[in-house]
Amino acid sequence: MRAVVQTVGRASVTVEGEVVGAVADGLLVLLGVTHTDTVEIARTMARKVHELRIMDDERSAADVGAPILVVSQFTLYGDARKGRRPTWTAAAPAEVAEPLVDEVVQALRQRGAQVETGRFRAHMLVESVNVGPRTLLLDL
C-alpha cells in the first residue's frame, strides 16, 4: 500500500460538479493499493497516517483532531521506467483495491478521525492547498 500524505489548508473532491468530500486544516491522503496488500496492511496504514507527526509543531492528526480526506489513487503504482507510456500492472484491480481503501477509511474512523472520501472508480477533480508544504510518501 502506498500513500501520498499532504498537510492542507483545504482540499476537496468533486465528481460531476458535486463536492463529495472536503476538509479544512487537515490531511489529504492519496491512497494506492497493490496486489499483495491485506486488511492488516490497510489498518497499519490508517494508524500510520493518523499518528504521522506532519502537522504544525510535530503533532499528528490524532493529536490535533485534524480531518482527513482519503482519495483512491491507483496511479501511485504507475511505472514509466520503460518508454513514455506508464503501465498500471502493479496496481490492484478495483475489486481488490476498493475494499482495502474502505478498510483504511473505516480504521481511521474507528480511531476517532473525521474522514471524508472521494468516490471510487469516478473521474474526480481533486483540489488542494498544501500547507508547509509538507508532503510525504508512505510505503507499506
Q: Where are the domains of the chain?
A: 2-133
C-alpha cell at 93: 484491480
CB-based contacts of 87, cutoff 8 Å, min separation 6? 78, 79, 80
Instruction: Provide the pLDDT for residue 132.
Output: 87
C-alpha cell at 97: 483495491
Per-residue pLDDT tens over the stretch 13-47:
999 999 999 999 999 999 999 999 999 999 999 99
The Cα 79–Cα 63 span in angstroms is 36
Active-site residue set = 73-75
Instruction: Provide the pLDDT for residue 85.
Output: 92
CATH 3.50.80.10 given to domain 2-133? yes
Instruction: Provide the pLDDT for residue 64.
Output: 98
Instruction: Provide the pLDDT for residue 73.
Output: 95
Instruction: Provide the pLDDT for residue 133.
Output: 86
- Residues in the chain with pLDDT < 50? none
